[in-house]
């Protein structure tokens, strides 16, 4: 089902197979720690053109992309409806996009993350019924794809508490696990997925779960790494499903020194990470230059500063 060899060499999936969590680490089929280098789309309602087979293949072959994260906003954002507040027709298109992408990633031997991207809907319980239906439906269709990671709520925020997130997760996780018992699942944490320390004091009672930690290097620094260290010391596994090298608005200046500190921290703790974002929006975090309309096959000149940094990044 998933390609293990491509062009004569083992793919990232071929080397690692279906993943699971041991202690604070995401590990491969042999129990060895893995650290996946991922790329996150922007909101796929707004930038669907980048979710195409050629682009996925291009990034896997040329950018060292090992995981493709599909950021599916659930509620209205930037003028575009999300999965939960859009139409049935729109939902069907998004589901088709996800299934197609997972299959393409499988064919390339890379991983794919399905991100239920709550943001303006700051409490996952707001669209819980829709989430339960979505994850049930999609996990049945994708049950034989061991390269899928489920991210059940991107960034709870405002006054949403860990107790509220936990109760949501306790309903959503069993729905996925009924269809895919060994699935790897990432759960968001309070305050835009920063309060992993709070989650670690009252963790979920499921195996193969990681907790989302999001950082934007010009905004989030040592104090956020301290929270992550506390969470790890308390025994939970952390996944940086999204990060930026600029500030938390997705724009502003790049802080390379802080980025280096973060990457060293992630490496030391074997934490996987996906960069925000694959689009040509006129903002620092977008990897494609605003003037470039190509949707695959980008040259160096087609990329923004962030895009060039990422494509030259070696683990
Ligand atoms: C930002 C986008 C920006 C968009 C905004 C609202 O970069 O173009 O206008 O969302 O849709 C997050 C979120 C992610 C944000 C990103 C940067 O998960 O959706 O994207 N960010 O602000 N958390 C922290 C930062």
- Residue 161, ligand 1, Cβ within 6 A: no
Q: State how far the Cα of 293 lies from the Cα of 282, in Å rounded to an integer.
A: 12
Q: State how far the Cα of 198 lies from the Cα of 230, in Å rounded to an integer.
A: 9
Confidence of residue 86 (pLDDT cuts 50, 70, 90): very high
pLDDT given for residue 1 in this prediction: 83
User: Residue 250 C-alpha to ligand 1 middle, in angstroms?
Assistant: 6
Question: Please, which residues have CB within 8 angstroms of residue 74's CB and are 6 or more apart in sequence?
Answer: 82, 83, 84, 85, 116, 117, 118, 119, 121, 127, 130, 131
Neighbours of 131 (CB within 10 A): 23
Please determine, for residue 2, whether its predicted confidence score (pLDDT) is greater than 80.
Answer: yes
Please determine, for residue 315, whether its predicted confidence score (pLDDT) is greater than 60.
Answer: no
Q: State how far the Cα of 62 lies from the Cα of 110, in Å rounded to an integer.
A: 13
Mean pLDDT, range 30-52, rounded to an integer = 98
Instruction: Give the orientation angle of helix 162-179 with respect to helix 128-141, to 10 degrees.
Output: 30
Contact 66, 111 (CB under 8 A): yes
- Percentage of the chain lying above the pLDDT 90 cut: 98
Q: Annotated active-site positions, please? A: 155, 242
- Residue 276, ligand 1, Cβ within 6 A: yes
Confidence of residue 294 (pLDDT cuts 50, 70, 90): very high
The DSSP line for 77-134 is BTTB--TTTS-HHHHHHHHHHHHHHHHHHHHHT-EEEEEEE-SSS-SGGGGHHHHHHH
| CB half-sphere exposure, 30, CA atoms < 13 A | 7
The backbone torsions φ and ψ at residue 39, rounded to the nearest 5 degrees and listed phi first, read -125, 130
Q: Is 27 exposed, middle or buried (0-12, 13-18, 19+ CB in 10 A)?
A: middle
Question: Tell me: the pLDDT tens digits for 192-224?
Answer: 999 999 999 999 999 999 999 999 999 999 999
Question: Tell me: the pLDDT tens digits for 91-127?
Answer: 999 999 999 999 999 999 999 999 999 999 999 999 9
Question: Please, which residues have CB within 8 angstroms of residue 263's CB and are 6 or more apart in sequence?
Answer: none
Contact 132, 171 (CB under 8 A): yes
Pocket test for ligand 1, best of 74, 119, 154, 246 (most atoms within 8 A of CB): 119
Q: Which domains does the chain have, with CATH numbers?
A: 5-313 (3.20.20.80)
- Residue 250, ligand 1, Cβ within 6 A: yes
Q: State how far the Cα of 36 lies from the Cα of 21, in Å rounded to an integer.
A: 14
Q: State how far the Cα of 243 lies from the Cα of 214, in Å rounded to an integer.
A: 5
Question: Tell me: the pLDDT tens digits for 233-285?
Answer: 999 999 999 999 999 999 999 999 999 999 999 999 999 999 999 999 999 99
Please determine, for residue 288, whether its predicted confidence score (pLDDT) is greater than 90.
Answer: yes
CA-nearest residue, atom 19 of ligand 1:
119
Question: Tell me: the pLDDT tens digits for 160-187?
Answer: 999 999 999 999 999 999 999 999 999 9
User: Residue 300 C-alpha to ligand 1 middle, in angstroms?
Assistant: 24
User: Residue 235 C-alpha to ligand 1 middle, in angstroms?
Assistant: 29
Please determine, for residue 24, whether its predicted confidence score (pLDDT) is greater than 90.
Answer: yes
Question: Sign of the C-alpha dihedral, residues 58, 63, 66, 68?
Answer: negative
User: Residue 150 C-alpha to ligand 1 middle, in angstroms?
Assistant: 20
Average pLDDT, rounded, for the chain: 98
């Amino acid at each position: 089902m998933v390609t293990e060899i491509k062009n004569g060499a083992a793919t990232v999936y071929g080397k690692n197979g279906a993943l699971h969590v041991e202690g604070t680490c995401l590990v491969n089929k042999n129990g060895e720690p893995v650290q996946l280098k991922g790329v996150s789309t922007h909101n796929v309602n707004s930038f669907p053109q980048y979710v195409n087979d050629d682009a996925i293949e291009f990034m896997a072959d040329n950018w060292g992309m090992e995981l493709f994260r599909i950021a599916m906003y659930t509620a209205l954002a930037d003028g575009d409806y999300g999965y939960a507040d859009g139409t049935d027709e729109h939902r069907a298109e998004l589901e088709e996009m996800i299934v197609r992408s997972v299959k393409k990633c499988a064919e390339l031997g890379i991983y794919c993350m399905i991100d239920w991207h709550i943001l303006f809907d700051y409490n996952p319980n707001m669209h819980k019924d829709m989430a339960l239906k979505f994850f049930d439906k999609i996990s049945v269709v994708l049950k034989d794809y061991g390269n899928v990671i489920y991210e059940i709520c991107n960034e709870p925020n405002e006054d949403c508490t860990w107790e509220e997130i936990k109760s949501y997760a306790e309903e959503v996780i069993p729905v996925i696990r009924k269809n895919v018992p060994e699935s790897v699942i990432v759960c968001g944490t309070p305050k835009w997925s920063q309060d992993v320390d709070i989650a670690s004091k009252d963790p979920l009672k499921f195996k193969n779960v990681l907790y989302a930690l999001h950082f934007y290097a010009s905004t989030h620094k040592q104090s956020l790494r301290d929270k992550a260290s506390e969470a790890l010391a308390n025994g939970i596994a952390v996944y940086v499903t999204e990060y930026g090298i600029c500030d938390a608005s997705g724009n502003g200046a790049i802080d390379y020194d802080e980025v280096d500190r973060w990457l060293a921290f992630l490496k030391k703790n074997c934490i996987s990470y996906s960069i925000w974002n694959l689009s040509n929006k006129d903002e620092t975090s977008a990897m494609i230059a605003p003037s470039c309309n190509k949707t695959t096959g980008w040259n160096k000149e087609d990329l923004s500063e962030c895009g060039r940094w990422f494509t030259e990044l070696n683990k």
